[in-house]
Structure 1
Amino acid sequence: MSAARAREPGEIFGPRTTLFADVLSVGLITAVVCLPLVTVPAALSTACEVLRGSQRGRPATAGRYLTVLRGRLRPGDLAAGALALAGALLLVADLALAGAGLPGARAFAVVAAVIGAYAVVTGLRACARAESLSDWRTAVRRAAGDVPRDPGGSALVLLALAAAVLCGWMMLPLAFLAPGPLALALTAVEVRGRGRGVGLAARDGSVR
């Protein structure tokens, strides 16, 4: 029986990724690859690709992850990671300055938080797009358009990130497993959005 036939109505992924151990193994190896920090986008993008491949009957395992990762970590992937790291440090610095009691700090903190949240959701949704495997600019541009077009999915991305951070904060060992469920959530949002037609115009390059 094919993976498509075995899939229940409304189920996004095939039966292999319903095994919790598969998601955890992908999360663990993703966490290891993320340790240099500049590799975070490529590592998360690879995890999403592995989970997305389960729709086509491909196994969601650490071995498959390493196979996909072999074609990654190019200069463009590392540049994307460096840019994301610089943006995160800038946001933390801005929020720290806002908390220092400067004039207009409260309004500045709100604006910085909104911009930061938009940037984070855009980056995460870009990692879930297939274009991130070869073209980060296209992935980011289309993800930025998907954020306002799919507010429900964007909210789910924020909730998934918050859950992953909370798990890591409550118990440090869970931080090495959290990337798996986070990648699963990102991929699910992307697949659901594609099924509902979110971003189709952007992918086709025109509005029909």
Structure 2
Amino acid sequence: MSGVREPGELFGPRFSLFADTMSVGLATAVACLPVVTIPAALSTACAVLRGAGEDRPATAGRYFSLLRRRLRGGDLVAGGVAVAGVLWFLADLALARAGLPGGAVFALAAGAIGCCAALVGLRACGRPESVSDWRAAVGAALDDAVRDAGGSALVLLAVVTGVLCAWMLLPLAFLVPGPLALALTAIDVRTRREVQGS
């Protein structure tokens, strides 16, 4: 993306990226409504925003075009696994609250495992491999999560920020996927540059 303001452009390229992120975020929020499409929707948003750095348009139209072309059985399986994981996690926490012996320790362990699984899943969505091969993306994301603790902390911070924004003002929940996808993409680009630089 060039840093030069076009004639008649009011805000410049940085504001354009912000506006593109919001439009892609709204498109992602709509694509996430069937729930099992959440991984594919977030992965596609990351791919579109990554393309913005290569002078490709980051628009809702391009987003839906890429999402239509890429939706396949593997994407729905990834979504099903994510939904099953969340339901299992919630069921475990409900059992821990039921007053079973060792419930507090179990809840703590379940929370740590759930947090790690969400971290790897989100980092996988940010990787370019997720567009065509979820197994490769998850494997690489697992390596990234272990090797790049700073990036993993940034992912968790982005999620916490999104949750707090949605909690403070519920309509902001529809805007969260865009900044989250931008954060995941930026963290992945940062990690790749560090690996190439070493």
**Does TM, normalized by the shorter one, top 0.5?**
yes
Distance 1:16 1:60 in 2: 13
2:7 is aligned to none
**CA contact 1:168–1:174 (8 Å) conserved in 2:** yes
Choose which of 21, 37, 42 in structure 2 pairs with 1:44. 42
Structure-2 change in CA distance of 1:197 and 1:54 (3 Å): same
CA drift at 1:18: 5.0
Distance 2:134 2:89 in 1: 21
Structure-2 change in CA distance of 1:43 and 1:84 (3 Å): same
Superposed CA deviations along residues 25-81 of structure 1, whole A, max 9, x for unmatched, are: 111010000000000000000000000011111111111111211212211100100
2:52 is aligned to 54
2:131 is aligned to 133
Could you list the structure 1 runs, at least 4 aligned residues long, displaced by more than 3 angstroms after superposition.
Answer: 15-19
Choose which of 74, 77, 81 in structure 2 pairs with 1:76. 74
TM-score normalised by structure 2 residue count = 0.90
Distance 1:78 1:104 in 2: 36
Q: How does 1:1-208 map to 2 (within 5 A)?
A: 3=1, 6=3, 15=13, 19-197=17-195
CA drift at 1:16: 6.1
Distance 2:187 2:79 in 1: 22
CA drift at 1:19: 3.3
Q: Quick one: which amino acid aligns to residue 158 of structure 1?
A: L
Q: Quick one: which amino acid aligns to residue 170 of structure 1?
A: M
1:206 is aligned to none
* SS of residue matched to 2:141: helix
Gaps of 5+ in 1: 8-14, 202-208
Paired residues, number: 191
Q: Quick one: which amino acid aligns to residue 170 of structure 2?
A: L
CA drift at 1:163: 1.2
CA drift at 1:97: 1.3
TM-score normalised by structure 1 residue count = 0.86
Distance 1:75 1:164 in 2: 29
CA drift at 1:197: 0.4
Distance 1:51 1:19 in 2: 9
Superposed CA deviations along residues 76-130 of structure 1, whole A, max 9, x for unmatched, are: 1001000100001111111121122211111111111111111000000000001
Distance 2:17 2:140 in 1: 31
CA drift at 1:17: 7.0
Structure-2 change in CA distance of 1:186 and 1:119 (3 Å): same
What is the percent sequence identity of the aligned residues? 63
Gaps of 5+ in 2: 5-12
